A and B are shown apart, each in its own frame.
Chain A
Amino acid sequence: MNTTPSKIISNQMSLTPRWTETVSMAFRSIVKVKGGLLGAVFISIMLLCALCAQWISPHDPDAQNILQRFAGPGFAHLFGTDYLGRDIFSRIIYGCRIAVLVAFGSVTLSSVVGVFLGVIAGYNEGKKFDYFIIWLFDIVRSFPQIILALAIVAVLGPSLVNVVVALAFTAFPFYGRIARAQTLSVKEADYVKAAEAMGQKPLTIISKHITPNIMAPVIVCLGMDMATMVIWESGLSFLGLGVRPPTASWGIMLRNGYKYIQVSPWMILWPALAIAFAMIAFSLFSEGLRVALDPKERNR
């Protein structure tokens, strides 16, 4: 690192960095990690596909063409067509939307709820509320996650929102436990004691002093969870308990591919590759995130 003295001073001057600085600093350190850059590029591609699906995809994802069923990859249809003659490439691009929506949606929802409960429980360590929250976390963690998600979707009915809610519900205790454990150590820190001595309200202490300082491990967990959520969304959709057809979701495409496995290998291969792409993207990125946020690994 080539830190000039002036840079060090300016770093020390701005005690509370603006969030844009934090984000750009985090991004720079992720990119420095081996594979992190690749992960960031892959995720950007997925985001681009999700945002601009209607301009990127060459065909309407739902346009059927019965005469052109089960076509192999070719010029007219880059990845071929499915059992209704729909363009697989366009459907894969639109499927990015569902994958990105579910990944970000369920991870955001579960981490917000989990961190909120975990921090409050940790701050009230040893009280009844704390025990209740630990109990709640342990109950939800007792279920095999995907089976619980399956049951919830079965009760609520299959839809995009319900999938996000069900997946978030199965994951929130994991964030909660991390947040609680971190809070237990952070609340003993001098700056929290100082804030208490100054007579700040518990809510202010929790939101201003504790929560910002426990986020690093939560963010690492967030990155890893996104990959899992993408798998589970496609898994639920594969079982017919996820997003409703004809929405283009990779899981639904696999479901159709499974039905016509004897006829066309392409209907399985392309969505499988898309899922593999997303998995590699999220794991490389989260690995970069983990190393970037871990002070022990950063200087390796």
Chain B
Amino acid sequence: MLKYILKRVLWVIPTLIGVLIILFSLTYMLPGDPASAMLGPRATPELVEELNSRLHLDENMPVRLGYYLLGIAKGDLGTSVWSGYKVSSLISSALPHTALLAVCSLGISAVIGVFLGAFGAIRQNSPISRIVTIVSLLGVAVPDFVAALLLMLLFCVKFPILPAIGAGTEGGIGDIALHLILPATALGIGWVGYLSRLTRESMVDVLEADYIRTAKAFAIPQRSIAYVYALKNAIIPTITVIGLGVGKLLGGAVFVEIIFSRPGLGKLIVDAVYARDFPVVQGGILVATVLFVLANLLADISYGFVNPQIQYD
């Protein structure tokens, strides 16, 4: 087990180096001249040349890659071509908004999804079970950005009861929460459907297991059989899915943040793409990727703890 964890953690290093190489080559392939874009049309050739050599843009590719990796190792993500701010400070001001959105939508939808799924499995053919089917169909049929648009249409235009844009940072906790409702619902609706169906399926399997029959024979109350004995095992597939889900969530956050104008990481990346501000795009994607890699790592490792039956070699 320890050996597996060590191997898994160490494997992250070459993977992240590869990620950096891909990010670097994407910018390398980019047409255009960053230095003249930064300095504007009235820059003298000497100025452009000086900036080029300061940014090491006049070197050949391997050298530039070396400088890039060195900068990352020092924690320097570069400077925004557009605004002149440090990329790291732009990201650190955007990240809390995305983190809040992701944690809220994933947390709430995990609780609702697991509860709905478990209940739907215990009482099959009950209204709750039908709700699970409907919600999971809805989650499949309406992708997050479409859900965001529909929610906005319903609750901001038809019945203007919820705020449509911004993160509500000026108005205190209540306002922040109010601004979170629609984006978090849009991001979470698919997850409620997916997790509830997943939990229901594995719960149905678990409820047929021998140890549940034994528990029944020992006259353990129905409720504690279901929610303690069965759910503990039925929840295992859900946990791995949540790890992968962080990636989907970060991707979905891009759309939801654009639609609701939340100043998060996704909006930062897309706005930088529009402005062709590639240091910011690079830095933003790097941070999103690192978060995703870490989430997967945690999910993989926790999987071994939750399910001791798994044997690692």
Contact = CB atoms under 8 A, between A and B. Distances in A.
B255 interface: yes
A146 interface: yes
A234 B252 CA distance: 13
B281 A258 contact: no
A195 interface: no
Interface string A274-291: 011001100100000000
A275 B143 contact: yes
B15 A145 contact: no
Please indicate which of the listed interface residues B11, B158, B292 has the most CB atoms of chain A within 10 Å of its own CB. Answer: B292
A155 interface: yes
B103 interface: no
Contacts of B266: 147
Given A139-B15, A144-B247, A155-B30, A276 B142 contact: yes
Q: Per DSSP, are chain A's interface residues mostly helix, strand or loop, or mixed?
A: helix
Given A147-B250, A265-B153, A238 B145 contact: yes
Interface string A212-231: 00000000000000010001
A153 B285 CA distance: 14
B269 A147 contact: yes
A152 B26 contact: yes
Contact of B259 (A258, A276, A279): A258
Interface residues on B, range: 35 or more
Given A272-B142, A276-B141, A276-B142, A139 B269 contact: no
Interface string B152-167: 1100011000000000
Interface string B181-202: 0000000000000000000000
A152 B23 CA distance: 10
A297 to B, nearest CB: 12
Interface in A224-262: 227, 231, 234-235, 238-241, 254, 257-258, 261-262
B45 interface: no
Contacts, number: 118
A241 B247 contact: no
A150 B254 contact: yes
A155 B29 CA distance: 7
Nearest to A251: B145
Contacts of A257: 149
A135 B15 contact: yes
Contact of B153 (A139, A152, A268): A268
Contacts of A227: 140
Contacts of B255: 235, 238-239
B18 A139 contact: yes
Interface in A126-154: 135-136, 138-140, 142-148, 150-152, 154
A254 B153 CA distance: 12
A261 B153 contact: yes
A144 B288 CA distance: 7
B209 interface: no
Contact of A143 (B19, B141, B153, B281): B19
B141 A231 contact: no
B22 A139 contact: yes
B241 interface: no
Contacts of A238: 145, 255
Nearest to A140: B22
A137 to B, nearest CB: 10
A170 B128 CA distance: 37
B105 to A, nearest CB: 15
B238 interface: no
B108 interface: no
Contact of B149 (A135, A152, A231, A268): A268
B285 A265 contact: no
B62 to A, nearest CB: 18
Contact of A151 (B143, B281, B292, B293): B281
B9 interface: no
A250 to B, nearest CB: 9
Contacts of A139: 15, 18-19, 21-22
Given A144-B292, A238-B255, A150 B19 contact: no
A138 B153 CA distance: 39
A147 B18 contact: no
A154 B254 contact: no
Nearest to B25: A155
Interface of A: 135-136, 138-140, 142-148, 150-152, 154-155, 227, 231, 234-235, 238-241, 254, 257-258, 261-262, 265, 268-269, 272, 275-276, 279-280, 283
Given A142-B293, A143-B22, 8 more contacts: A142-B18, A146-B251, A147-B250, A150-B273, A155-B26, A269-B150, A279-B140, A280-B140
8 contacts: A139-B15, A142-B15, A146-B251, A265-B157, A268-B149, A268-B150, A272-B146, A279-B141
The 4 closest A-B pairs by CB, nearest first: A139-B18, A146-B251, A276-B141, A144-B247
